[in-house]
A and B are shown apart, each in its own frame.
Chain A
């Protein structure tokens, strides 16, 4: 890792430049970038008709889903499709020859693309928080620093989790299906289907120990100021724990998997 880090800035930078070159594509991609707002629209109807569910007001939903939009665009799961395509086509062989481990090649390429989105989304979110009176994020510096750390952790866990899954490709051709199943189940415990606070108790409890909340619900709740110091520390502990677990799993899977790689074509 230490010898790879110096290569990160330039690799990320080149991926950013590639992504930013196709501006028409960025605009079209933005179409799906705001999907969490659809779920929000349904919740706003629920609030308007039946009153705030479990005390969640219109403003709470606005604040939750505006922030969720940012997290929705800060996942690293695209690497699963990239790995899968390269294993099938044999292009992974070329990547194996490069001095940087394939994990970092995929990671930097994805990170570069994410950055292009962030450049558009973060200012939009800041502007919305300033203009829309309902958007309320308590802005003390300590909390904002914690949120920044939680965002980095969210991306890191998402990326490592996805990369670990991608290695299933050494054994099976069903990687992307397996990942979709995992993501689909996880979306109930991450805060993506609905805020965890509005889920049944058993699901909320499960969500607190599973890795998914780190990638969405935790940073969003932190930004909204719904977590006290103890809950914040707990959230970071769970996230860091899963980060370590996936890093270990990835290493083990890579060691055994890469021996099985047969370079299908190329």
Chain B
């Protein structure tokens, strides 16, 4: 396998090319940015309906829910920018036999299929989402300690890793199922479930979402930022994230063994 810095540099070049290419369509970029902004306001306004009738839902006040919605929006943007465009192409790779060709390239195949493409339209969503998170924290009137910020960053990194692991799992399934659109729905549903803190859904849904690990996407990072995270999660989250990445990688290798090629 090639050394990591070289792989990172090559991915960087691919992404820069994607940005340059799509920025030619400036109006399209701006229109998509405006739509992103709209969806974020939509999510915030939609959640406000619950708070017409109550001050807190499952212990979360409205500003605190905004923190979660902001994180949801950031991760969902990342899903649309990175996960979705690559997953969409995966089906075509298999159907047309392009995968044979990709596997022969002197580059780690897993990175290549999962991170090669980038959809620029949603690239600013994480910035928008984190802005809402900051606004939510400010409105909640809580201070953020250095320790809370550090644990938040750690849990956010774990959330991103979990999403990456999911992406690799879906790529592996795509080799077998060849159903990109429907697998895209799985990732959509997974991230969509993290729109609200998992405590807001009642049991048994809440228990399921903690196991599935939707809670690790937004609920726990938000709790860390608000300074009320159970300390054991600081150890559990990295373990879950690392375990997910390892399992996903194993699954990817296994699916490649069953892949018979379609080009020749």
Contact = CB atoms under 8 A, between A and B. Distances in A.
A106 interface: no
A49 B205 contact: no
B39 interface: yes
Interface stretch (B48-56, B103-111, B132-140, B232-240): B48-56
A177 to B, nearest CB: 5
A42 B57 contact: yes
A45 interface: yes
A54 B53 contact: yes
Interface in B181-237: 181-183, 185-186, 188-189, 192-193, 195-196, 200-202, 205
Nearest to A192: B46
A177 B50 contact: no
A46 B182 contact: no
A28 B201 contact: no
A92 interface: no
Contacts of A50: 53-54
Nearest to B200: A42
B179 A28 contact: yes
B52 A38 contact: no
Given A24-B177, A28-B185, A181-B38, A46 B50 contact: yes
B28 interface: yes
A249 interface: no
Contact of B201 (A41, A54, A187): A41
B32 interface: yes
Contacts of B259: none
Contacts of B49: 193-194, 198-199
Interface in B26-64: 28, 31-32, 35, 38-39, 42, 45-46, 49-50, 52-54, 56-58
A32 interface: yes
Instruction: Categorize the interface residue count of chain B.
Output: 20 to 34
Contact of B45 (A43, A46, A177, A188): A188
Contacts of A48: 202
Contacts of A198: 49, 52-53
B186 A181 contact: no
Contact of A180 (B35, B183, B200): B35
A199 B49 CA distance: 7
A9 interface: no
Nearest to B195: A38
B124 to A, nearest CB: 15
Interface in A44-90: 44-46, 48-50, 53-54
A53 B55 CA distance: 12
Contact of A25 (B32, B182, B200): B182
Interface string A103-146: 00000000000000000000000000000000000000000000
B186 A193 contact: no
A45 B50 CA distance: 10
Nearest to A31: B189
Nearest to A173: B28
A22 B185 CA distance: 15
Interface in B78-117: none
Given A38-B193, A38-B201, A42-B50, 18 more contacts: A24-B177, A25-B179, A25-B182, A28-B182, A29-B182, A29-B185, A31-B189, A32-B192, A41-B202, A46-B50, A46-B57, A48-B202, A49-B56, A177-B35, A184-B38, A187-B46, A194-B50, A198-B49
User: Ordered nearest first, which 4 A-B pairs have the shortest CB separation?
Assistant: A53-B53, A28-B182, A41-B201, A50-B54
Interface of A: 22, 24-25, 28-29, 31-32, 35, 38, 41-46, 48-50, 53-54, 173-174, 177, 180-181, 184, 187-188, 193-194, 198-200
